[in-house]
Amino acid sequence: MRIVAADTGGALLDDAYNPIGLIATVAVLVEKPYRTASLSRAKYADPFNYDMSGRQAIRDEAYLAVELAREVKPDVVHLDSTIGGIEVRKLDEPTIEALGITDRGKEVWKDLSKDLQPLAKKLWEEMGIEIIAIGKWSVPVRIAEIYSGIYTAKWAIEYARKNGKVLVGLPRYMRVDIKPGKIYGESLDPREGGLFGEIEANTKGVSWELYPNPLVRRYMVLEVWKE
Amino acid sequence: MRIVAADTGGALLDDAYNPIGLIATVAVLVEKPYRTASLSRAKYADPFNYDMSGRQAIRDEAYLAVELAREVKPDVVHLDSTIGGIEVRKLDEPTIEALGITDRGKEVWKDLSKDLQPLAKKLWEEMGIEIIAIGKWSVPVRIAEIYSGIYTAKWAIEYARKNGKVLVGLPRYMRVDIKPGKIYGESLDPREGGLFGEIEANTKGVSWELYPNPLVRRYMVLEVWKE
Amino acid sequence: MRIVAADTGGALLDDAYNPIGLIATVAVLVEKPYRTASLSRAKYADPFNYDMSGRQAIRDEAYLAVELAREVKPDVVHLDSTIGGIEVRKLDEPTIEALGITDRGKEVWKDLSKDLQPLAKKLWEEMGIEIIAIGKWSVPVRIAEIYSGIYTAKWAIEYARKNGKVLVGLPRYMRVDIKPGKIYGESLDPREGGLFGEIEANTKGVSWELYPNPLVRRYMVLEVWKE
């Protein structure tokens, strides 16, 4: 099975470890044995000017995933929204009303589906590829999340090189390792069966430290500064 | 403390990783230091013809556990049903009504208790051994679950030797390792303190691969094929 | 950030692994990189005569934390009560009523706040240090919990030396290692990013064994006996 998935993660933090805005939306192509991505594509947000309501993230993820899907022609596209693995092209108002989610979640999806339903319908009609809202059950979505942490580290290196110093928060229970010419990242949850990722990056001219976010158990902070 | 526990696990999967039916019910005897079984006994179901409602599993588990308990005379029997550690011989209708579980769970237990209450009463009266429905809190139940994954691997080897190839899903966050003459399995959750199991098996003539189930995070797929 | 946190943990167990009473309240000072304590202070309860309702624990934790905070002047104090990170000095009746917790939780906090609100107000007015009820999100609270397990091991060694043998239950998913002259402890959850602790202790004259509590998954039992 060849799966394209997308997720958004990594947050710019202030000195008290409070999130200011999210950093990286990533789409990945995941193939058997489903432990890493064979291809990844990132789009950076402006964390200083970010809508934290979550609505922007899922929209960005859908568009980036569709862009990658049109190129690599996967069997299916996974989005990070846990509404029962439903096909996004079928999300009309009555279907959303019938979902077992909160009223607030229904409002969000009624709004989102205005853009995402036509997008999903078009991908289905033109290429026969479904987009499903499978969320936390999907391993490819978790791999996309790990890559969003890796690309966040890349963003942090570039930011520190220009501005001196930066604190970013990685997605849940993952760590990164900044090596010469590349950034490696992996899940800290062994129950996931060894999920990881790696990208090439210019990693010169900075130092870094990784440690637990004292205010959010199971999340790590990456601190990067110019040497 | 000597504990007999039972559980059912391991699923035959189709090519899209959807479960077709469960494979192995296992009863184990667990003794201090409670990390593995000193004795295990398996009963295979027919996964091509399986009632996925869950009612058959708990019934099979109770009968297999009682069979093993009559032999090894443990202090107590643990079943995989999380209804507060209640003694099964006391499960009459008013007691079931008073349980803090869903209405559907109450219906299931009213039906189940017709068989299981007399079974538990008999074991108590003849041997002084209680059967308790302790479920997810019990370490021996988790060890039985790990053994159900190990016996599922054994079933998969035999199936592949006859039919060429098979995909099975292991119970939650566990892995198996197929070695010459034996199958080893262990929990992937280090918080459980190192739970594992091993059985002897004819492991000749097959190759295998273990990888994350892309559709069900924290569950592994075992693929076995004839060499 | 310099954080003082407190927690209570470790339980005396009977031979059937049932808890009799809690053992150690610990306050810790945690500083960057937030993986262990730079200072710890313990107060032992009498587990044979313990109020298991939980009200005594949080009161003891607050007093011990304030005692340590007055000495080491941290930026903030974390208590193990998950009521949204609210400042304890602001916990008057209308604020407690408005919390998103159970009615029973509200009753407990209305009672607790009689002592703890003045305590927190005084610390704030005299030293400018807030006490916040952040609970399970706080890494320093988890480090205090790990230290409560380490001090529980110390208590068990002293008890066994006098009385021959003892069983204690450690806090959730952690292990201890008793070495010559010291006791080491660490989290078994790698998602927490490597939390650990160590104290000096007289560890002579006893043997010990650590194993999973068969009745409470993810909790370990420490058995200590006189050599």
pLDDT in tens, C171-223: 999 999 999 999 999 999 999 999 999 999 999 999 999 999 999 999 999 99
β strands within chain C, DSSP E = 3-13, 19-30, 39-44, 76-79, 86-87, 130-133, 165-169, 174-179, 182-187, 196-200, 206-212, 220-226
Q: Is the pLDDT of residue A54 over 70?
A: no
Contacts of B60 (CB under 8 A, 6+ apart): B8, B25, B43, B45
Two tokens at C144? 């205090």
CB-closest option in B16, B188, B217 to A137: B217
The reply to whether residue B137 touches residue C216, judged by beta carbons under 8 angstroms, is: yes
What does the angle CA C200 – CA C205 – CA C208 come to, to the nearest 5 degrees? 80
User: What is the distance between the alpha carbons of residues C95 and C106, in angstroms, rounded to a whole number?
Assistant: 10
Identify the contact set of chain C against chain B, taking CB-CB distances under 8 A. 16-17, 172-173, 175, 188-190, 209, 211-218, 220
Place of tokens 């924290």: B218
Query: How many pairs of residues across A and C have Cβ atoms under 8 Å apart?
Result: 53
C192–A16 CB contact, under 8 Å:
no
Q: Note whether C41 and C27 are within 8 A (CB).
A: yes
DSSP summary character for residue A180: T
pLDDT at A18: 94
- What are the backbone dihedrals phi and psi of residue A181, each rounded to the nearest 5 degrees, phi first? 80, 0
Q: How many residues does chain C have?
A: 227
Q: Which tokens belong to C129?
A: 């240090």
Residue-level pLDDT at C172: 98
Question: What is the spatial distance between Cα C200 and Cα A69, in angstroms, rounded to a whole number?
Answer: 58
Site from B211, B213, B215 to mutate, A interface, most A CB atoms within 10 angstroms: B215
Interface contact A213-C139, CB threshold 8 A: yes
Burial of A44 (0-12, 13-18, 19+ CB in 10 A): middle
Instruction: Tell me: do C92 and C129 sit in the same domain.
Output: yes
Place of tokens 């380490």: C150
Asked whether residue A129 falls in the same domain as residue A24, the answer is yes
Contact A192 B218 (CB under 8 A): yes
Region label for B79, one of left (φ > 0), alpha (ψ between -120 and 50) or beta (otherwise): beta
Chains that touch C (3 or more CB pairs under 8 A): A, B
Residue C35: its chain A contacts at CB < 8 A? 211-212
Question: What does the alpha-carbon distance between residue A185 and residue C155 come to, in Å, rounded to a whole number?
Answer: 41
Same-domain pairing of C37 and C120: yes
Ramachandran category for residue C148: left, alpha or beta (phi over 0 → left; psi -120 to 50 → alpha): alpha
Per DSSP bridges, beta strands C3-13 and C76-79 are parallel
From the list A203, A204, A186, the residue with the least C-alpha distance to A195 is A186
Nearest to B217 among A1, A33, A192 (CB): A192
Partners of B9 in the β-ladder:
B24
- Of the candidates B30, B33, B191, the beta carbon closest to that of C218 is on B191
Show the low-confidence residues of chain C (pLDDT under 50).
none
Answer yes or no: do B192 and C16 touch at CB < 8 A.
no
Check B212 against A33: CB less than 8 A apart: yes
Classified as helix, coil or strand, B123 is: helix
Facing residue for A212 by CB, picked from C134, C136, C193: C193
Torsion of CA C73, A211, A146, A44, to 10 degrees: 70
Whether B118 and B198 map to the same domain: the answer is: no
Do C208 and C126 fall within a single domain?
A: no
Q: Which helix (H) or strand (E) holds A11?
A: strand A3-13
Give the confidence band of A129 by pLDDT, cuts at 50, 70, 90.
very high
The letter for the amino acid at B106 is K
Q: What is the pLDDT of residue B122?
A: 97
Q: Are C162 and C206 in contact (CB under 8 A)?
A: no
B187 and B115 in a common domain: no
The whole-angstrom separation of Cα A60 and Cα A33 is 27
Please report, for the domain that includes residue C123, its CATH number: 3.30.420.440
Give residue B99's domain range. 3-8+15-133
Residue C107: half-sphere exposure toward Cβ, Cα within 13 Å: 5
> Could you list the pLDDT tens digit for every one of the 227 residues in chain B?
999 999 999 999 999 999 999 999 999 999 999 999 999 999 999 999 887 766 789 999 999 999 999 999 999 999 998 787 889 999 999 999 988 888 888 888 899 999 999 999 999 999 999 999 999 999 999 999 999 999 999 999 999 999 999 999 999 999 999 999 999 999 999 999 999 999 999 999 999 999 999 999 999 999 999 99
Q: Are A85 and A129 in contact (CB under 8 A)?
A: no
Q: Are residues C165 and C68 in the same domain?
A: no
Residues A84 and A149 occupy one common structural domain: no
Strands A3-13 and C86-87, bridge-based pairing = unpaired
What angle, 0 to 180 degrees and rounded to 10, lies between the N-to-C axes of helices C103-127 and C55-72?
A: 10
C138: which chain A residues are within 8 Å (Cβ-Cβ)? Answer: 214-215, 217
Subunit partners of chain A (3 or more CB pairs within 8 A): B, C
Distance in Å, alpha carbon of A203 to nearest chain B alpha carbon: 31
Question: Are the Cβ atoms of C137 and A215 closer than 8 angstroms?
Answer: yes
Q: Is the peptide bond before C33 cis (omega within 30 degrees of 0)?
A: yes
Q: Strand C19-30 vs strand C39-44: parallel, antiparallel, or unpaired? A: antiparallel
Q: Which of A133, A160, A183 is the last residue of a domain?
A: A133
- The CA–CA distances, whole Å, from C172 to A50, A152, C222 equal 37, 32, 13
How far does B15 lie from chain C, in Å, by closest CA? Answer: 32
Q: Prior bond to B33 cis, omega within 30?
A: yes
Contacts of B134 in chain C (CB under 8 A): 215
* Boundary of a domain, candidates C133, C159, C181: C133
B87, B86, B82: which is closest to B102 by C-alpha? B82
Answer whether A5's CB lies under 8 Å from A140's CB.
Answer: yes
Q: Of A133, A162, A192, at which residue does a domain stop?
A: A133
Shared-domain flag, residues C26 and C76: yes
How many domains does chain A divide into? 2
Task: Provide, as residue numbers in chain B, all residues whose Cβ is less than 8 Å from the Cβ of A142.
Answer: 217
Report pLDDT for B150.
Answer: 98
Which residue has 């059950």 as its token pair?
A137
Contact between C152 and C168 under an 8 Å Cβ cutoff? The reply is yes
Would you say the C-alpha torsion B58, B62, B67, B71 has a positive or negative sign?
A: positive
Lowest average pLDDT, out of A6-15, A99-108, B58-67, B214-223, goes to: A99-108
pLDDT at A127 over 90: yes
User: CA dist C128 to B151, C124, C134, Å?
Assistant: 61, 4, 18
Structure tokens at A133: 């809202």
Contact list in A for residue B211 (CB cut-off 8 A) is: 32-35, 193
Kindly list the residues of chain A whose beta carbon comes within 8 Å of any beta carbon in chain C.
16-17, 172-173, 175, 188-190, 209, 211-218, 220
Smallest CA-to-CA distance from C217 within B218, B3, B76, B35 is with B35
CA distance C194 to chain B (A): 13
Nearest residue of chain B to residue C216 (CA atoms): B137
Site of tokens 């054994």: B154
- Pair of tokens at residue C134: 């952040």
Q: Please, what is the Cα angle at C180 between C175 and C182, to 5 degrees?
A: 55
Closest Cα to residue A66, out of A126, A137, A135? A126
Cis peptide before A33 (omega within 30 of 0): yes
Both structure tokens of C161: 């030396």
Residues A141-162 have a mean pLDDT of: 98
Say yes or no for a CB contact (<8 Å) between C214 and B134.
no
Q: Is C53 left (phi over 0), alpha (psi -120 to 50) or beta?
A: alpha
**pLDDT of A118 above 80:** yes
Nearest CA among B167, B143, B144, B146 for reference residue B216: B167
Residue C101 — φ and ψ, nearest 5°? -125, 175
User: Is residue A4 scored above 90 in pLDDT?
Assistant: yes
Judgement on whether residues B220 and B186 belong to the same structural domain of the protein: yes
Would the pLDDT of A216 be above 90? Answer: yes
- Judgement on whether residues B170 and B201 belong to the same structural domain of the protein: yes
- Shortest Cα distance, chain C CAs vs residue B80, angstroms: 13
CA-nearest residue of chain A to B220?
A193
d(C-alpha A121, C-alpha A140), whole Å: 22
Residue C189, min C-alpha distance to chain A (Å): 8
Question: Degrees (nearest 5) of the Cα angle C77, C82, C85?
Answer: 50
**Residues from chain A contacting residue B215 (CB–CB below 8 Å):** 134, 137-139
Query: CA nearest A221 in C: which residue?
Result: C33
pLDDT of A15 higher than 80: yes
Whether residue A171 is found in the same domain as residue A117 = no
